[in-house]
């Protein structure tokens, strides 16, 4: 029989099973876990046995002195604990509980269908679209939504002329719960990897310019070490990329680090790469000495998209002036390269990016401060899988920089 996908197996595990497994791992005893969870010992034993069948792996070694997690159990237990910790923290953050004990009690009343409903409606925009995606009736989803609100005593949905929508509190909880649920799926994949050597996916957000250049430089080296790896790379501008990172749609982001980042993200600088004003070979300003702000303002510019560090740097350069003409705002390197080489337009590029360009040159201008860095941005509470960690190590080695201590952004 073909093993079902990690997502299907993760979704088949009930929260009750997960809580019982957590207790067995913490207490090192099926008997003590049954007492802590107010269930009979046979019921706990049966739940554990069913979970091991669902995962296709033995998780606990039974001995006369107790029940102990084996290597697979330790991997999965760490993810299960993170799932409950993140869910309980989310419940506190939306104001449904005032402390950990109350949040734990609320979490124990939740079901997978309730949380899946919240995340599904949040992502699809309506109960009707979520029901189509899940192949479940909208009435069933609405019932699960009412049960979720009743358990948490917080308004997560509100009614409009267009139907029921997710409230701001519901959106906040949905984003946090989505990240928590991913821990279970990651745990299943890590158990699979430990069993048969399969690799967990690596989903990377590549920022335009430096991010795509850096990733292209290390992909071959990483694939030599992990020839069966499943690497997925998405390319977006800064605003969309960090939105994807917060939502858990990418594991980490590579590219120019933001100047200011919310506290839930962490930045690791790898390569300092100052900005320079760039033009085509033979540009009129290339023959000048040191170029002035007034001379720069006489030409049309290609700027970064709003929210990008490139755009912020452009705004600082021309602060206090009416600024140059800016008809194009883009982070698409092929577009920028084409526009620069076929005109007298100007743009900003980093020294790292320019090492991989031909037919462009920097103009002699005053130093541009602050000097940005290319690096890696992750969620503050992210626990990478071994293959994800190895990819980051390959990036660090290629950047030829000492591995600095992660600094909290913001």
Model pLDDT for residues 355-377, shown as the tens digit of each residue:
878 889 999 998 888 888 899 99
pLDDT of res. 213: 83
Model pLDDT for residues 45-78, shown as the tens digit of each residue:
999 999 999 999 999 999 999 999 999 999 999 9
| Percent of the chain with pLDDT strictly greater than 70 | 96
Model pLDDT for residues 131-171, shown as the tens digit of each residue:
898 888 989 999 999 999 999 999 999 888 877 889 999 99
List domains and CATH numbers for the chain. Answer: 6-178 (1.10.10.10), 199-271+381-408 (3.40.190.10), 274-362 (3.40.190.10)
Model pLDDT for residues 183-194, shown as the tens digit of each residue:
999 999 999 999
| Mean pLDDT calculated for residue range 237-259 | 91
pLDDT of res. 144: 94
Burial bucket for residue 355 (CB in 10 Å: 0-12, 13-18, 19+): exposed
Model pLDDT for residues 398-408, shown as the tens digit of each residue:
986 444 443 44
Helices (H) and strands (E) in the chain, counts: 17, 15
pLDDT of res. 3: 56
Residue 410: which pLDDT band, with cuts at 50, 70 and 90? very low
| Mean pLDDT calculated for residue range 348-353 | 87
pLDDT of res. 1: 33
| Percent of the chain with pLDDT strictly greater than 90 | 70
**Token digits of residue 25:** 């791992």
Q: What is the pTM of this model?
A: 0.84
Q: In 3D, which of 68, 60, 265, 78 has the Cα closest to residue 186?
A: 78
107 pLDDT above the threshold of 90: yes
Q: In 3D, which of 170, 6, 168, 11 has the Cα closest to residue 91?
A: 170
Contact partners, residue 360, CB within 8 Å, separation at least 6: 278, 279, 280, 281, 337, 340, 341, 349, 354
pLDDT of res. 372: 86
The mean pLDDT value of the chain amounts to 90
Residue 197: which pLDDT band, with cuts at 50, 70 and 90? confident
90 pLDDT above the threshold of 80: yes
Length of the chain: 410
In angstroms, the Cα distances linking 46 to 40, 51, 53, 180 are 10, 9, 11, 26
Task: Pick the more confident residue, 263 or 84.
Answer: 84
pLDDT of res. 49: 96
In angstroms, the Cα distances linking 223 to 61, 196, 399 are 36, 18, 17
Model pLDDT for residues 382-399, shown as the tens digit of each residue:
999 999 999 999 999 998
**Longest CA span, the chain:** 85
């Amino acid at each position: 029989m073909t093993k079902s996908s990690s997502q299907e197996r993760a979704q088949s595990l009930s929260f009750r099973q997960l809580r019982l497994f957590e207790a067995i791992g913490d207490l090192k005893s099926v008997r003590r876990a049954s007492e802590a969870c107010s269930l009979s010992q046979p019921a706990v034993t049966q739940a554990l046995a069913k979970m091991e069948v669902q995962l296709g792996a033995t998780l606990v070694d039974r001995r006369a002195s107790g029940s102990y997690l084996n290597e697979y159990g330790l991997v999965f237990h760490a993810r299960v604990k993170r799932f409950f910790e993140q869910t309980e923290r989310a419940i506190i953050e939306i104001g449904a509980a005032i402390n950990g004990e109350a949040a734990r009690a609320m979490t124990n009343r939740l079901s997978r269908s309730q949380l899946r409903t919240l995340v599904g409606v949040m992502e699809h925009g309506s109960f009707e679209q979520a029901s189509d995606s899940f192949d479940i009736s909208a009435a069933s989803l609405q019932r699960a939504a009412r049960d979720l609100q009743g358990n948490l005593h917080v308004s997560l949905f509100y009614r409009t002329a267009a139907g029921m929508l997710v409230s701001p509190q519901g959106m906040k909880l949905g984003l946090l719960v989505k990240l928590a649920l991913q821990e279970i799926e990651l745990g299943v994949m890590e158990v699979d990897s430990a069993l048969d050597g399969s690799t967990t996916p690596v989903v990377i957000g590549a920022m335009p310019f430096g991010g795509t250049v850096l990733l292209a430089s290390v992909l071959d080296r990483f694939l030599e070490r992990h020839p069966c790896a499943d690497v997925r790379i998405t390319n977006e501008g800064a605003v969309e990329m960090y939105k994807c990172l917060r939502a858990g749609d990418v594991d980490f982001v590579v590219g120019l680090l933001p100047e200011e980042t919310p506290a839930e993200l962490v930045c690791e600088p790898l390569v300092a790469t100052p900005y320079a004003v760039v033009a085509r070979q033979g540009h009129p300003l290339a023959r000048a000495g040191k170029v002035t702000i007034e001379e720069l303002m006489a030409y049309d510019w290609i700027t970064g998209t709003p929210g990008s560090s490139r755009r912020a740097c452009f705004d600082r350069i021309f602060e206090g002036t009416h600024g140059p003409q800016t008809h194009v705002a883009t982070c698409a390197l092929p577009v920028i390269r084409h526009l620069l080489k076929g005109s007298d337009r100007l743009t900003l590029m980093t020294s790292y990016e320019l090492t991989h360009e031909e037919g462009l040159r920097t103009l002699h201008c005053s130093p541009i401060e602050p000097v940005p860095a290319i690096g890696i941005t992750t969620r503050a509470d992210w626990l990478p899988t071994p293959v994800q960690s190895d990819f980051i190590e390959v990036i660090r080695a290629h950047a030829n920089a000492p591995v600095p201590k992660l600094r909290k952004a913001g």
